[in-house]
Amino acid sequence: MSNGHRPTVLVTGTSGFVGRRLVPLLARNGWVVRRAVRTPPQDANDVAIDTLGPTTDWREAVAGVDAVVHLAARVHHQKEEHAIELYHNVNVAGTLHLARSAIDAGVRNFVFVSTILVHGRSNNGRPPFREDDTLTPRGLYGMSKAAAEAGLSELVAGSGMKVTVVRPPMIYGAGAKGNFALLEKAVKRGVPLPLANIHNRRAFLSVENLTSFILHRLERPTQGFDVFLVADSEQVSTPQFIERLAHAAHTSPRLFWMPAPLLSTLLKASGRSEANDSLLGSLELDLSKLATSGWRPPLSLDDGLKLALSQ
């Protein structure tokens, strides 16, 4: 099934933030990378896939493949909250159809990047999230990923294909979008932020650590269906993260005090309820299972932030 002595891996979502870093890492570590692309193939190993859904023809893409890493997904956009069918077709039905195609082709290993949102946006007042918690997903994106995980668990039972589900928190790195990009811009511009008195605890994950873990699971698959919460070793408060980000940017953070209830009210009034959770709430993960996996994050939080701002 492999290309000579080099195993072959099909990767979806290769043009995305994580995919752009994963592909060269896999290639450097001896994998033949077959990219599923929507644009015309630029490499002999590329395979054109016009869409990701329940009717996608994956036969050419999975033929002769040892492993699949599924990164592609419809991510959350506030203006698409009504598009339940779109999220289902891409994130649930599309994922399960790819997995069935991989099983039919004899693929041995499947890595699915899910999201910590299958647990919810915060664990305020609760213990740190664990892999075996009952899932309480928030939003269409989180619900679609939880449904895909459940479908994969049923699908692969007795199939011989090993599945690893990765649930990352906020992923940061050079070129990251979303909240990290907003914080980076604010810190570099010296924008005062009313977060000095926030005493939460949150997990973060550098994109380099995420891709390192994916490589680890490709090389060391274990049981048939396995789930991991993956994060940097350190979990810190929002103001601590901003302070570390400012240090990496060679500047000083400008944090000031505002009563948390008032700040929460202002965020909700501005339509930023998600920012309310991600800035003020806690998102603490129990990483004890990750510690037994044989993998260690190659980058510390400080190293990850320095790398994110140096590129």
Active site residues: 141
Q: How far apart are CA 149 and CA 152, in angstroms?
A: 5
* Token output for 92: 């649930």
Q: H helices then E strands: how many in the chain?
A: 12, 9
How would you class 100 by CB atoms within 10 Å of its CB: exposed for 0-12, middle for 13-18, buried for 19 or more? middle
Which of 29, 42, 91, 100 is closest to 68 using CA atoms? Answer: 100
* Dihedral Cα 191, 299, 137, 291, nearest 10 deg: -150
> What is the per-residue DSSP string for 198-230?
----B-EEEHHHHHHHHHHHHHS--SSEEEEE-
* Token output for 106: 């004899």
* Token output for 103: 């099983």
Tell me how far the alpha carbon of residue 218 is from its chain's centroid: 16
Which of 55, 54, 49 is closest to 11 using CA atoms? Answer: 49
Which of 69, 157, 168 is closest to 109 using CA atoms? Answer: 69
* Token output for 93: 């039905």
User: Nearest 5 degrees, angle CA 33-CA 311-CA 230?
Assistant: 60
